A and B are shown apart, each in its own frame.
Chain A
Amino acid sequence: MKFRAKIVDAACLNHFTRVSNMIAKLAKICTLRISPEKLNFILCDRLAGGGVSTWCELEQENFFSEFQMEGISAENNVIYLELTSENLSRALKTAQNARTLKFKLTNKHFPCLTVSVELLSMSSSSRIVTHDIPLNVIPRKLWKDFQQPSVPEAEVSIYLPVLKTLKSVVEKMKNISNHLTVFAILILQVIEANLNGELNLKIETDLVCVTTHFKDLGNPSLASDDASRDRDPAEMAEVHVDIRKLLQFLVGQQVNPTRALCNIVSGRVVHLDLLYEDVSLQYFIPALA
Chain B
Amino acid sequence: MSRQLHARRVEGFDKNIWVEFTQLISDYKVVNLGQGFPDFGPPSFMQEAYCNAICGGASMHQYTRAFGYPRLVKIIAKFFGRIMGREIDPMEEVLITVGAYHALFCTFQALVDEGDEVIIVEPFFDCYEPMVMMAGGTPVYIPLKPVITGSALSSADWLLCPEEVASKFNPRTKAIVINTPNNPLGKVFQRDELQMIADLCIKHDVLCISDEVYEWLTYDGEHHIKIASLPGMWERTVTIGSAGKSFCATGWKVGWAMCSGHILKHLKTFHQNSVYHCPTAPQEAVAVGFQREYDVFGTEESYFRQLPAQLHAKRLKLAKSLRSVGLQPILPQGGYFMTTDISSLKVELNDPDTKDEPYDYRFVKWLIKEKGLAAIPVSGFYSPEHRADFQNYIRFCFVKVILLMDIQNESEQYRENYTCKTFFKQIIS
Please say whether chains A and B are actual partners in one complex.
no
